[in-house]
Structure 1
Amino acid sequence: MKSPSATLLAEVRTFRQNYPEVRYVDLIALDIPGHFYGKRYPVDMLEKVAAGSPLKLPQNAVLLGAQGGLFKIGDYCFNDGDPDANRRLVPGTLKPVSWESQPLGQMLITSDGTEAPIEFEPREVLTKVLERLHHKGIHPVVAFELEFYLFDKKLDDGLPQFARDPLSDDADDQPNLHIERLSRFSDVLDDMAQTAKAQGIDITVITAEIGPGQFEINFCHCDDGLRAADWAALFCRSTRGVALKHGYRASFMAKPYLQFPGSGMHVHVSLYDGAGNNVLAAHQQQPLRHAVAGCLALLPHCMPIFSPNHNAFRRLGGTVNAATRASWGFEDRDACVRIPESDPRNLRIEHRLASADANPYLVLAAILAGLEHGLETRQEPIAPLNEDRSSGTDFPVDMLDAVRAMQHQSVVRDKLGAEFVDVYCENKRQDHLAFQQEISAREYRWFL
């Protein structure tokens, strides 16, 4: 078996042979709000990193706010000297970038697996949850589904404009589920799909959604939770880049139009034991009920993860298939936790609450923590919506209330890490307060 450095070195050298025109590679990682940060490395220096040379970036880069600023969070950012922290290359993620004007490569980096991982790095949070489940003999299989909107590349006084229909040059302002929309926008959608595949992302179905210019792309089920979340993160980056190349903006914003459906991140999760048996299907599906109960119990305390910004809360209780309470049901898209019809081998939950702009590592970590909690406590869930349309428990619908519900919840702190919870909640609180520090035209219109 090759050593990690030998495997990485072979990957870099193979990449250089296949793409000799590439001189630089973007080394990227996801911060708390779900944006990529990193460095652009000369490809020859990348060989040295692959061979074992240190790769360091500021630890506090993970703490950037939604607009890139730093907030004082405990002793971080302003009282810690802004230290560097080690990162490592993620094997198998070195791929070409086709949407830029010059030949580039990109590769994921992370602190997980280093001697001193950053406790609040999203990928490290998910790594700890997965390792704990694996030690219990539980192996998740995961599939993400992401909705997004296409807009015209140019904004109108800062406001989005409907995507232009390439056949008629009219605005695509009619919400529909018609297959013809896939044909009309086939050039950009095909490029998105092919680019995703070139990034190693295993995508499947493309759907025209209800909103004008809204689409959904599904990923294959993956038996590596980290890789599944990597796919979701990388897909957002490549999709935005491809859209710009074609004269559009692609956005995963949760609720760009009040009158049309928001964009969600749906996550399918099944659990298997070491022999490949579906844990949720055992004993007449009793573990499934326990897992659902655990998800619903932690859901109100993980809302800052599922709805990570002010706009994301606008999506809740919206026009179509957006839950207003923590609920579950069989084949019911109004539920937060849906149980799709399937055979026992493929029995799974579909968690539908997260917005499309949520951090995929943290969303999956929170979902798995809920499943784990349910299997441990073995509680019965509330009635499914199929039996009682009013069934459900309330969850916070405001960021400050959501942060208060999350920060001191003992199970969430235990499952996701107390240090992470404190840092994340303060990051979201400060982001929300910073967002409020601007007087809108409407405010003048109402109160001047």
Structure 2
Amino acid sequence: MKSPSATLLAEVRTFRQNYPEVRYVDLIALDIPGHFYGKRYPVDMLEKVAAGSPLKLPQNAVLLGAQGGLFKIGDYCFNDGDPDANRRLVPGTLKPVSWESQPLGQMLITSDGTEAPIEFEPREVLTKVVERLHHKGIHPVVAFELEFYLFDKKLDDGLPQFARDPLSDDADDQPNLHIERLSRFSDVLDDMAQTAKAQGIDITVITAEIGPGQFEINFCHCDDGLRAADWAALFCRSTRGVALKHGYRASFMAKPYLQFPGSGMHVHVSLYDGAGNNVLAAHQQQPLRHAVAGCLALLPHCMPIFSPNHNAFRRLGGTVNAATRASWGFEDRDACVRIPESDPRNLRIEHRLASADANPYLVLAAILAGLEHGLETRQEPIAPLNEDRSSGTDFPVDMLDAVRAMQHQSVVRDKLGAEFVDVYCENKRQDHLAFQQEISAREYRWFL
């Protein structure tokens, strides 16, 4: 077998042969709010990194707020000297970038797998959860579904405008599920799909959703949870880039219009043992019920992950299929945890609560932690919505309440890491308070 450095070096050299016009490669990683940060490397220097030269970036880049600012979180950022931390290249992620004006490449980097991983880096948090499940003989298979809106490239006084129908040049302002919308916007949607595939992302179904200019793209089921989350993160980046190239804005904002459905991140998860048997389907599906109970038990304490900003909480209890309580059901899209109809081999849960702009690494880590907790405690879930439409337990619908519910919950701290939970909760608290430090035009209209 090749050593990791030999494999990476071969990947870089093959890339250079296939794309000789590329002179720079963006080395990127996802921070806590779900934005990419990184460095643009000359491709010849990338060969040196692949061969084993150190790759260091500031540790605290992971802690950036939604607007890129740094918050004082314990001793981080202002009392720690802003140290560098090692990163490594993620094999198999060096791909061309087609949406920029100049030839570029991009490649994921991470601290997981280094000598001193950053405990609060999102990919490292997910890595720990996946590795713990593997040690228990449990192997997740994961598929993400992401909804997003297309807007006109130009904003109107800072507000989004409906995407222009390329056939009529009229605003695409009619909410519908019509297949014709896929035809009308086929140029940009096809480019998004082909670009995603060029990034190594296995996508399947494209759907015109209910909101005006709203679409959903599904990903294939993947037996590597980290790679599945990588796909979701990279898809958001490439989709925004392709949209701009075609004269649109693509946004994964949770609730861009109050009167239309929000955009969600739906995650399908099934669990298999080492022999390939579906763990959830064993013993008349009793493990499925336990897993559902665990998900519902932790859900109210993971709301800052599923709804990571002020706008995401607006989506809850919205016009279509957005739950207001922690609930579950068979073939029921009003439930947070839906059990799609399937044969025993493919039995799975569909977690539907997270907003489309949530961090995919953390969303998946929280879901897997809930499944693990349920399999450990073997509790029975509450009644499904199919039996009782009022079934469900409350969860916080405000960021500060959600942070309080998350920070001191012992199971969440144990499953996701106490250091991560403290850092994440303070980051969300500070982001929320910073968001409040502006007087809106509505306040002047109401109270001046």
TM-score > 0.5, shorter chain as reference: yes
CA shift, 1:97, in A, is 0.1
CA distance in 1 between partners of 2:442 and 2:175 (Å): 27
Take 1:208 and 1:346, find their aligned partners in 2: how far apart are those partners? 26
CA distance in 2, matches of 1:124, 1:291: 23
Question: How far apart in 2 are the matches of 1:367 and 1:441?
Answer: 39
Deviation at 1:184, TM superposition (A): 0.1
Instruction: Tell me how far apart the structure 2 counterparts of residues 280 and 214 of structure 1 sit (CA, whole Å).
Output: 33
CA-CA distance at 1:408 after TM superposition: 0.0
Q: How many residues align?
A: 448
Q: Secondary structure at the match of 1:25?
A: strand
Q: What's the TM-score once normalised by structure 2's chain length?
A: 1.00
How far residue 186 of structure 1 moved from its aligned partner, in angstroms, is: 0.1
Structure 2 counterpart SS, 1:290 = helix
- For residues 205 and 279 of structure 1, the distance between their equivalents in structure 2, rounded to whole angstroms, comes to 27
Q: Distance in 2 between matches of 1:322 and 1:78?
A: 39
Q: Distance in 2 between matches of 1:211 and 1:388?
A: 29
Q: Does structure 1 residue 375 correspond to structure 2 residue 378?
A: no
Post-superposition CA distance 1:215-265 (Å, at most 9, x none): 000000000000000000000000000000000000000000000000000
Q: What is the deviation of 1:403?
A: 0.0
Deviation at 1:278, TM superposition (A): 0.1
Q: Distance in 2 between matches of 1:66 and 1:375?
A: 35
SS of equivalent residue, structure 1 residue 196: helix
Query: 2:123 is paired with a residue of what secondary structure?
Result: helix
Alignment-derived partner of residue 364 in structure 2 = 364
What whole-Å deviation, never above 9, does each CA across 1:405-444 have from its counterpart, x for those lacking one? Answer: 0000000000000000000000000000000000000001
1:438 — aligned with what? Answer: 438
1: distance between equivalents of 2:376 and 2:94?
39
Deviations 1:18-73 (A, max 9, x none): 00000000000000000000000000000000000000000000000000000000
Q: How many angstroms apart in 2 are the aligned matches of 1:445 and 1:415? A: 46
Question: Following the alignment from structure 2 to structure 1, what is the Cα–Cα distance between the partners of residues 444 and 80?
Answer: 41
Which residue is equivalent to 1:193?
193
Deviation at 1:208, TM superposition (A): 0.1
SS of aligned partner of 1:342: coil
Q: CA deviation at 1:131?
A: 0.3
Secondary structure at the counterpart of residue 160 of structure 2: coil
Q: Deviations over 1:185-209 (max 9, x none)?
A: 0000000000000000000000000
Q: Deviations over 1:124-143 (max 9, x none)?
A: 00000000000000000000
- Kindly report structure 1 stretches of 4+ aligned residues shifted beyond 2 Å: none
Partner of 1:386: 386
Q: Distance in 2 between matches of 1:35 and 1:139?
A: 28
Pairwise CA distance, 1:378: 0.1
Aligned partners of 1:332 and 1:85: how far apart in 2? 45
How far the C-alpha of 1:279 sits from its partner, in A, is 0.1
Deviation at 1:109, TM superposition (A): 0.1
Alpha-carbon displacement from aligned partner over 1:347-390 (angstroms, at most 9, x marks no partner): 00000000000000000000000000000000000000000000
**1:112, distance to aligned residue in structure 2 (A):** 0.0
**In 2: Cα distance, 1:170 partner to 1:354 partner:** 32
Q: Secondary structure at the match of 2:212?
A: coil
The percentage of counterpart residues that share the same residue type is 100
> Are 1:350 and 2:350 matched, yes or no?
yes
- State the 1:110 CA deviation: 0.1
Residue ranges of structure 2 left out of the alignment (5+ in a row): none
| Alignment deviations for residues 147-181 of structure 1 (CA, whole Å, 9 cap, x no partner) | 00000000000000000000000000000000000
Q: CA RMSD in A?
A: 0.1
2:189 is paired with a residue whose SS is helix
Structure 1 distance, partners of 2:200, 2:147, is 20
Q: Distance in 2 between matches of 1:37 and 1:225?
A: 22
User: What is the CA-CA distance between 1:344 and the residue it aligns to?
Assistant: 0.0
The SS at the match of 1:227 is helix
Deviations 1:295-336 (A, max 9, x none): 000000000000000000000000000000000000000000
Offset of residue 122 of structure 1: 0.0
Deviation at 1:78, TM superposition (A): 0.1
Note if 1:410 corresponds to 2:389: no
Q: Which residue of 1 aligns with 2:206?
A: 206
SS in 2 for 1:77: coil
Counterpart-to-counterpart distance in 2, 1:274 and 1:441: 58
Q: Which segments of 5 or more consecutive residues in structure 1 lack a partner in the other structure?
A: none
Q: Look up the SS of the partner of 1:321 in the other structure.
A: coil
Q: SS of the residue aligned with 1:295?
A: helix
Shift in Å, 1:280: 0.0
Cα offset, 1:270, TM superposition: 0.0
Cα distance in 2 between the residues matched to 1:94 and 1:122 = 20
Structure 2 residue matching 1:207: 3-state secondary structure: strand
